[in-house]
Structure 1
Amino acid sequence: MDLAAALHPADLTAARHPITVTLGPDRREILAQGRDFLTKVLGDDRAVYGSTTGFGALVGYAGRADLRDQADNTLAHLGAGQGPDLDPALVRATLLVRARSLAQGASGVSPHVVDALIAMLGTTFAPAVPRYGSVGASGDLIPLGAAAQALRGHGYANVDGVRMPAAQALDQAGLTKLPLDGRDALALVNGTSLTTAALSLAVTRTRAAHRAMQDLTCLLADLLGCDPQFLDDRLIRRYAHPGAVTVADGMRATLTGCTPTTKRPLQEPYSIRCSPQLLGAAEDALRYIDGVVDADLAGVSDNPLFFPGDDTVVHGGNFFGQPAAFAADLLTGVEAQIGNLAERQLDLLVDPNRNGGLPPMLAAGPGRQHGLQGVQLASTALIAEIRRDAMPAGMQSLPTNLHNQDVVPFGTQAALRALDQTALLRLLCGSLALGLRQAVHVGARRPTAGGTSALLADLEQIAPVDPDRPLEQDVRTAAAICCDRY
């Protein structure tokens, strides 16, 4: 991928493995011009935050005179992160986002810094970055500080999935220690690249679960013999929400050929009848979140920014991650409702009073066997976990940094939490999918639509639960079958 081109969420997913990243001569020239302009500005004795000054609340004090010492001054005080390491795949995605921001040439960064990020992304190297420490206001300072230190050979890093001292990891990956001055160091840390990367990965994974739930809902309706009139195009278009129209169009296509049994109630429970409205609202929300991610990936997240053509250095707040904070909080709500739908549909499926007379818990021999009982219990626990964590982070602003950062977005926490919940949402999809596979084994009719028949055929790779067995791996397998299609 070329750093002059637009960055897409799929690129961030790909960055978990070594990737080829390029920087064309035109973009390299823009970087060089920006760097030359910084040299001129400093030669003119102009004030430049982080180059001639201290950091944060200490901006009113002079920084270190030697620019290389200023890099140490930047990074040393940020070595305050705590907690477990972030997923190396997330860290690598973060540094791809950072490389793209810096490559736009507005940060006054040395071209060799972008070259170092490109070289790193071509290997399996991933800095060890602690989870806790960012408030997402002046960028993801502490996490990105740990990443920058690892590129300098300090702290720890991973190579081929093995954690080791960063200097050893650089050697093993064939990389060299990254020299930095004060502007380079600040440019590496003064942006919301971790927040953006986490949100991008989270919405990508949520979209996969969202599409899976459309398919699984169709399979549930077909197995039960429901009348698909709840997807009627005339009905949905009167609802007027574009996401619902899109979702219903896709679900109708999946259910093409479905023949209702005429034995179901006139109106299905809401977990079936209102599914296009619920999943459609999720689609509308996901489109908004996609737009925030696209803007974050296209933008420059740094301070200050340099405009050589105008002979101007502009200080401001382009490191403030409020858009991502709002979007991530919305995403956790979407995840909670999609997960709730999966859990409620599984509850309907195992209940003989609502599932068309299938045995309780879909047990092949109720009493002697227990079928999906354990999976249904675990699903209740999973959705409770997601719902507990759905409290918005963006409303938790706390002043810090001697009230220099007197409002903060907490987008990092919001995005990391949204990414965490995608793993649980995936398991909820897998739990429902396993129940649907089992339902056919214990007496549900085989699907009558082509799309649902194809999905069931894939799920029948999993053996029926007869007799009982531990099902944790089967849930994960079912989740992969229904979610990894997208």
Structure 2
Amino acid sequence: MPTTHPTTAPVDLGVPLRGDDLRRAAAPLTVLVDPALRARLDRGRAHLRSVLADDERPVYGATTGFGALVGYAGRADEADQCDNTLAHLGAGQGPDLPGALTRAALLVRARSLAQGLSGVSGHVVEGLAAMLATTLVPAVPRYGSVGASGDLIPLAYATQALRGRGHAYLDGERLPAAEALRRAGLAPLVLDGRDALALVNGTSVTTAATALALDRVRAAHRALSDLTCLLADVLGCDTGFLDPRLIAAYAHPGAATVAERMRATIAGAVPSGERPLQEPYSIRCSPQLLGAAEDALCYVDGVVAADLASVSDNPLFFPDDDLVAHGGNFFGQPAAFAADVLAMVTATLGNLAERQLDLLVDPTRNTGLPPMLAAGPGSQHGLQGVQLATTAFVAEIRRAAVPASTQSLPTNLHNQDVVPLGTQAALRAYDLAELLWLLTGSLALGLRQAVHVGGRRPTAAGCAELLDALAEAIPPVDPDRPLDADVRRAAELVTGTRC
């Protein structure tokens, strides 16, 4: 029997996935393959069989070689054709992908195949569902995909692990894949050439990484709108920069959405009268900045939703029309653009958080609070180490935020003469989202400390509630102590997510 039983609501592969489904895939998850879905799979499979029975109808990957070798015949034996598909793709390198990401990618793959247009055997989708009900995670190296003909190399490693080859994790332990399957109570997948190609010929790793990164960035975005309100209230700023008439005149929908949320959080705040007429941009322009991020994130929302509903494979089989359509539905350009946008948003939000913390620790700009928010400057150093770390985080984000989607590099004997590099874009966005999460936690910790060293208690009920939650979870920095765990605790509290 599987080592761990799912405890959350099931996922129905008959409907498009949601971001929440991908998050929950990190733990054992019940995935439904109902009779109607199985019938759809069987119908697509029967169509493939009828096409293969006609010697005049070649099917890429089932009767042919792969990629640039499509003009050559494949192997006649179906099991051999499976090996022919997967063996040459065992060229990945680097550390293994995070388990949560690998499992999310296989859930995305299961949904794509379950739509019945890939001609796969029904037991392939059922096998993926069975795996997701356990703690098993195929060991998949990070480097090797260009996101063009799908995430070929990483998905090949995942597929080989499900066949009992390579390695996999079970309950966090890295094992030979055959042993991990045995302990999990799973039978190795038996595949033919079409099954094997369908498992690897899609952008499921790219989609999953983009979706999970989006989730983290959205959580940080919401938290930063709240923390900006708390900053303004603690410093005693006038809240006129959120006036609904001012924001309406700006005419950007994201700014209106963000400002409405911020007004609700800061409602009731009383200005101290000690601040300048116009605040620095990191406060005064925050609804415009966060609003632009909101508009960009809405674009990414749409791309991710489309990817999660799509069939990413080649060829596709349409039984009603007796059609085998060879094309490019494995091409990850939409996610590449979306992940690049996500990286730009992350860089801008991270810069905002770092600038706000810098303002907060500077006695020339923070209405007289001690430097570095130290309880005893000199004998104590308060947030000095945290502020240094945030500088490093922002520098790392900026260095990595160069768009990947513009870096197309031909490969595969120019069969893949344009490539989106969506996998690079998505994995980069996934990594940067964690740095943004840490920047958000750093600002939250600074605000908790600011009130301890003389900052006023928030006058807005929403801001006071947020401060009290932080104060309950995190003791003041007095005396100095290592703050790495506190930054993570604060980030988890204000974003509602873990990294």
- Residues 1:464 and 2:476 aligned together: yes
- Residues 1:260 and 2:271 aligned together: yes
Using the size of structure 2 for normalisation, the TM-score is 0.97
| 1:67-106 aligned within 5 A | 67-106=78-117
SS of residue in 1 equivalent to 2:257? helix
Report the CA distance between 1:485 and its aligned residue: 6.9
SS of residue in 2 equivalent to 1:402? helix
Partner of 1:158: 169
SS of residue in 1 equivalent to 2:89? coil
Partner of 1:25: 35
| 1:377-388 aligned within 5 A | 377-388=388-399
Q: Which amino acid aligns with 2:255?
A: A
Partner of 2:435: 424
Report the CA distance between 1:247 and its aligned residue: 0.2
Partner of 2:21: 11
Report the CA distance between 1:263 and its aligned residue: 1.4
SS of residue in 2 equivalent to 1:238? helix
Partner of 1:433: 444
- Per-residue CA deviation, residues 394-425 of structure 1 (Å, 9 max, x unaligned), is 01100000000000000001000000011111
Distance 1:465 1:16 in 2: 34
Distance 1:139 1:11 in 2: 21
Partner of 2:48: 38
Alignment partner of 1:245 out of 227, 231, 256: 256
Alignment partner of 2:377 out of 355, 363, 366: 366
Tell me: CA distance 1:365–1:267, structure 2 relative to 1, closer, same or farther (3 Å): same
Partner of 1:477: 489
SS of residue in 1 equivalent to 2:31? coil
- Residues 1:197 and 2:199 aligned together: no
Q: Which amino acid aligns with 1:438?
A: Q
- Residues 1:112 and 2:123 aligned together: yes
Distance 2:40 2:406 in 1: 39
Q: Which amino acid aligns with 1:29?
A: A
Distance 1:396 1:334 in 2: 19
Partner of 2:464: 453
Distance 1:485 1:354 in 2: 31
Q: Which amino acid aligns with 1:470?
A: P
Q: Which amino acid aligns with 2:167?
A: Y
Alignment partner of 1:214 out of 201, 220, 225: 225
Q: Which amino acid aligns with 1:484?
A: G
Report the CA distance between 1:136 and its aligned residue: 0.3
Report the CA distance between 1:6 and its aligned residue: 1.8
Distance 1:472 1:147 in 2: 34
Partner of 1:61: 72
SS of residue in 2 equivalent to 1:460? helix
Report the CA distance between 1:274 and its aligned residue: 0.3
Partner of 1:391: 402
Report the CA distance between 1:219 and its aligned residue: 0.3
Partner of 1:149: 160
| 1:334-373 aligned within 5 A | 334-373=345-384
Q: Which amino acid aligns with 1:174?
A: G
- Residues 1:2 and 2:12 aligned together: yes
Report the CA distance between 1:343 and its aligned residue: 0.2
- Residues 1:286 and 2:330 aligned together: no
SS of residue in 1 equivalent to 2:412? coil
- Per-residue CA deviation, residues 120-149 of structure 1 (Å, 9 max, x unaligned), is 010001100000000000000000000000
Query: Where in structure 1 are there 5+ consecutive unaligned residues?
Result: none
Q: Which amino acid aligns with 2:281?
A: Y
SS of residue in 2 equivalent to 1:77? helix
- Per-residue CA deviation, residues 314-341 of structure 1 (Å, 9 max, x unaligned), is 0000000000000000100000000000
SS of residue in 1 equivalent to 2:219? helix
Distance 1:481 1:67 in 2: 52
SS of residue in 2 equivalent to 1:205? helix
Report the CA distance between 1:187 and its aligned residue: 0.2
- Per-residue CA deviation, residues 160-208 of structure 1 (Å, 9 max, x unaligned), is 1111000000001000010000000000000000000000000000000
Q: Which amino acid aligns with 2:256?
A: V
Question: Which 10-residue stretch deviates more, 98-107 or 475-484?
Answer: 475-484
Distance 1:296 1:258 in 2: 43
Distance 1:48 1:355 in 2: 68
Distance 2:477 2:125 in 1: 53
2:336–2:421 Cα contact (<8 Å) kept: yes
Distance 1:28 1:470 in 2: 55
Partner of 1:224: 235
2:216–2:497 Cα contact (<8 Å) kept: no
CA RMSD of aligned residues (A): 0.8
Distance 2:13 2:440 in 1: 36
SS of residue in 2 equivalent to 1:7? coil
Distance 2:478 2:308 in 1: 49
Distance 2:48 2:16 in 1: 26
Distance 1:182 1:334 in 2: 41
SS of residue in 2 equivalent to 1:391? coil
Q: Which amino acid aligns with 1:42?
A: L
Distance 1:160 1:467 in 2: 39
Distance 2:129 2:389 in 1: 43
Task: Name the % identity.
Answer: 73
Q: Which amino acid aligns with 1:287?
A: C
- Residues 1:130 and 2:126 aligned together: no
- Per-residue CA deviation, residues 340-371 of structure 1 (Å, 9 max, x unaligned), is 00000000000111000111111111111111
Report the CA distance between 1:24 and its aligned residue: 1.6
Distance 1:131 1:289 in 2: 23
Distance 1:481 1:169 in 2: 35
Q: Which amino acid aligns with 2:115?
A: Q
